[in-house]
């Protein structure tokens, strides 16, 4: 413990800018020397895509090489550069503190995206993992509005996701793709990327309208009825899509245009986090917390509890629909089986693992479960024993998740670390 305390103290003066510079250095080392030199001399067949976890599980003899690669490319350069440049990055961070917070956040986000783009660009598999992880963040943050801030238990997110996926897919296929079901495109395909945000918003709107079918009967009552009705809604949507042969039925729908590159999904993820953060910290969000804690007391304080709950429910459903639209265009194929009870289990695992009532917790949960799922892929069925066991331990020791009831504080996160009050 003493060693850990000294280690933490030694790096407590490194600002966020310093850590990003360290990570950028590690990514550049991998980009220029990862394959030709470091992997080659460590006896690895290729650059490890997920920090060597896949190689280590597939071929245990490669464990020393994979660990050596992580140390040479990431651990040593990141910590060394972050510490050695703190004398430079702290004045820069102090300079950025004098700018408006929004501008400072934008500069950090651009730098972060540059690092992410460079790291993912080394391998197509990384691009897919990052895209699906960011979509999971949208789904987790949005369900946290309902299951966390609202204090209800909804199971309908896969249904909302399916509505968004199918509506946005139909729009882009009809307008911009030569499809065997819908025929020739109605508009020139080059207009597609510019109209794609409207298709996503339409998918989100369809999900929000669909959520009324759950919200209207559920919020007339109190108790566990929402869980039952929302679960039924998910199965109704899945069965309806399976029997609509005009949109592919059980075979699914494919051929969605590639309108969701990495930067588009990154922008939508940041927009989702920013808008939901503003929502849960607004007057409506505070009313939502009050309704969660004591509905009867809220009504006595003139809060319109039913209207508050329905607004939050539709808001969460909208973002699930947007996430579904992005999901469909990343995979360029969807079928009803993708929006079943398995998807619900994944989304709930992410939100309860990260933490309720916390946007930070939702992000941590989505990233952790996604990366863990991919890292344990070589174990096949055994990973579905390991991940639930981890969840059980988290629920025992942290009943509300790893990071619950924690709000984003960008000013504190990005400030210079002078060593005073850190």
Closest to 177 in 3D by CA, of 199, 162, 161, 159: 199
Q: Which two tokens stand for residue 22?
A: 């360290």
Give residue-wise pLDDT tens across range 48-57.
888 878 888 8
Closest to 203 in 3D by CA, of 242, 155, 169: 169
Give residue-wise pLDDT tens across range 361-385.
899 999 998 888 888 887 777 777 8
CB 353 within 8 A of CB 369: yes
Higher pLDDT pick, 59 / 174: 174
pLDDT at res. 222: 65
* Measured distance CA(20)–CA(14) in Å, rounded: 10
Question: What is the value of pTM for the model shown?
Answer: 0.92
Give bridge partners of residue 254 from the DSSP assignment.
Answer: 333
Give residue-wise pLDDT tens across range 56-67.
888 888 888 889
State the average pLDDT over residues 66-91: 91
Higher pLDDT pick, 46 / 331: 331
Q: Which two tokens stand for residue 377?
A: 């892929």
For residue 76, count other CB atoms closer than 10 A to its CB. 13
pLDDT at res. 421: 46
pLDDT at res. 223: 64
CB 50 within 8 A of CB 129: yes
pLDDT at res. 419: 57
State the average pLDDT over residues 340-351: 89
Radius of gyration for the alpha carbons in the chain, expressed in angstroms and rounded? 23
* Measured distance CA(334)–CA(323) in Å, rounded: 13
Give bridge partners of residue 1 from the DSSP assignment.
Answer: none
In the 3-class helix/strand/coil scheme, how is 385-404 assigned residue by residue?
A: HHHHHHHHHHHHHCCCCCCC
């Amino acid at each position: 413990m003493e060693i850990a305390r000294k280690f933490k103290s030694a790096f407590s003066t490194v600002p966020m800018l310093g850590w990003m510079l360290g990570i950028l250095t590690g990514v550049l080392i991998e980009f220029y020397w990862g394959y030709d030199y470091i992997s080659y001399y460590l006896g690895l067949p290729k650059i490890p895509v997920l920090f060597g976890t896949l190689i280590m599980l597939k071929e245990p003899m490669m464990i020393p090489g994979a660990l050596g690669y992580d140390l040479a490319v990431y651990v040593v350069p990141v910590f060394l550069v972050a510490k050695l440049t703190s004398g430079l990055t702290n004045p820069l961070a102090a300079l950025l503190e004098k700018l408006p917070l929004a501008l400072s956040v934008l500069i950090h986000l651009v730098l972060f995206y540059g690092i992410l783009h460079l790291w993912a660009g080394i391998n197509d598999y990384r691009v897919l993992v990052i895209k699906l992880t960011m979509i999971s963040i949208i789904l987790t943050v949005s369900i946290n509005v309902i299951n966390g801030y609202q204090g209800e238990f909804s199971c309908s997110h896969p249904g909302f996701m399916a509505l968004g996926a199918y509506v946005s897919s139909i729009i882009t296929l009809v307008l911009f793709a030569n499809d065997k079901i819908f025929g020739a495109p109605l508009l020139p395909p080059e207009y597609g990327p510019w109209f794609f945000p409207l298709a996503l918003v339409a998918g989100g709107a369809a999900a929000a309208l669909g959520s009324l079918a759950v919200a209207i009967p559920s919020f007339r009552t109190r108790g566990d009825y929402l869980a039952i009705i929302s679960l039924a809604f998910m199965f109704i949507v899945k069965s309806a899509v399976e029997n609509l042969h005009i949109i592919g039925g059980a075979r699914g729908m494919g051929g969605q245009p590639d309108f969701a590159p990495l930067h588009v999904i990154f922008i939508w993820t940041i927009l989702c986090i920013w808008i939901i953060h503003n929502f849960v910290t607004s007057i409506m969000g505070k009313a939502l917390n009050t309704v969660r804690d004591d509905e009867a007391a809220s009504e006595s304080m003139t809060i319109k509890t039913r209207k508050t709950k329905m607004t939050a429910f539709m808001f969460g459903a909208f973002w699930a629909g947007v996430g579904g639209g992005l999901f469909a265009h990343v995979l360029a194929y969807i079928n009803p089986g993708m929006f079943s009870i398995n998807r619900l289990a994944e989304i709930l695992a992410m939100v309860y693992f990260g933490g309720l009532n916390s946007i930070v917790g939702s992000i941590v949960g989505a990233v952790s479960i996604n990366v863990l799922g991919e890292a344990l892929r070589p174990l096949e069925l055994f990973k579905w024993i390991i991940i639930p066991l981890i969840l059980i331990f988290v629920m025992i020791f942290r009943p509300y998740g790893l990071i619950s009831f924690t709000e984003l504080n960008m000013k504190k996160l990005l400030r210079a670390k002078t060593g005073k009050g850190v």
